[in-house]
Amino acid sequence: MGRFSSIAISALLLSPVLGQTESPAAVPVKKNPKRGLVSTPNEFFPRDDFIWSDPSSPLSWYWNFAPDVTEAYANFSQSEFEFVPSMWGAYTPNGTDTYFLGNLTEKFSKRKPSHVLTFNLPDQSFEYGGSEMTPEIAARTWVNNILPLREEHGIKVGFPTVSDPRGGWVDPFLKNCSKMNDGHGCEFDFVPLHSFGGFGTLKDNIGKWQSKFPEKPLWVTEYGFHDQNEAETQKFFNESLKYLEEHQAVARYSWFGAFRKTKSNVGEEMAMLDQRGNLTDIGNWYLDRAAALRTPEGVLAAACTLENPCGGSGAAGRASYVGVAGIVIGLFQLGVTFWM
């Protein structure tokens, strides 16, 4: 009896102190309509995917570079965890097919999306992660696949995710659209963009697209400060999260980092999971959770808010280490007494 009680108390007090980053019980929270997920499933660790759809997660939507849902979220309705399909690029060299349109519409009885993303970096080569589409082929592909989704099915469609509105791809695309669509062009509802670099780069990218299409909401579908140390990455994360939440033109955003540090191609510090699949500080903060105990300074315990963002070296967001230590010592003494 004494041995069982002592072990039970020890397990109770040690489990949250030794770095457990997930809440012991999933408490449903209000979803953040802006904040989403770039879903990058890990076939070797499929359980990682469920971290982002936990009831305690504030994430309201996700995309995955593909037209089909991420398997881990297949049973979620659109209202529970909204999936935004993506037509990454052309399925045929000349853009005359309607594969994407057919694939999507045949599933409407089970899941009809409200939004669709289109062409991923069509102005960039395959070598650099782009879909490498000429403005003419992109326009033809759009008219055959995207235009019917908007005009016949009422789905809101995103402009192609182009690296720079001033790079010579956007205007020729629009002109080709007008030529192929009886002068109506390729109408769209929102503008997605990617941004990798410092805080100034993020603001500049948003400003460029806002200037190009001032009436359209912006979606920052991939962003981060790649290949930086922990301090610089966390500083950027806190600044950018506050900025995106408060920016009226930004309708949605998704941090690129839903993977383990060992799988990151943008530097380890952008990853929201460590090597073992536990949430990093940035992972915790992105889910509106406090970070785990990491240094002798104290336990990161306060809620993350726009006024008091997580991270940094100050006292904000940190509970008193002395207070927590007192609780631990007290419980330990209680365990010893119970043992005696």
Mean pLDDT across 142-162: 97
Cα of 120 vs its chain's centroid, Å:
16
Mean pLDDT over all residues of the chain?
84
Percent share of the chain, pLDDT over 70: 78
For the chain, strand residue ranges (E) read 32-38, 59-63, 82-83, 115-116, 156-157, 191-196, 218-224, 250-255, 298-300, 318-320
Look at residue 236 and tell me whether its pLDDT is greater than 60. Answer: yes
> What mean pLDDT comes out for the span 105-129?
95
Per-residue model confidence as pLDDT tens digits over 160-190: 999 999 999 999 999 999 999 887 889 999 9
Residue 28 is predicted with a pLDDT of: 78
* pLDDT at residue 298, as a whole number: 36
pTM metric for this prediction? 0.80
| Among 225, 226, 227, 206, CA closest to 217 | 206
pLDDT level of residue 318 (50, 70, 90 thresholds): very low
Residue 86's nearest CA partner among 124, 108, 119 is 119
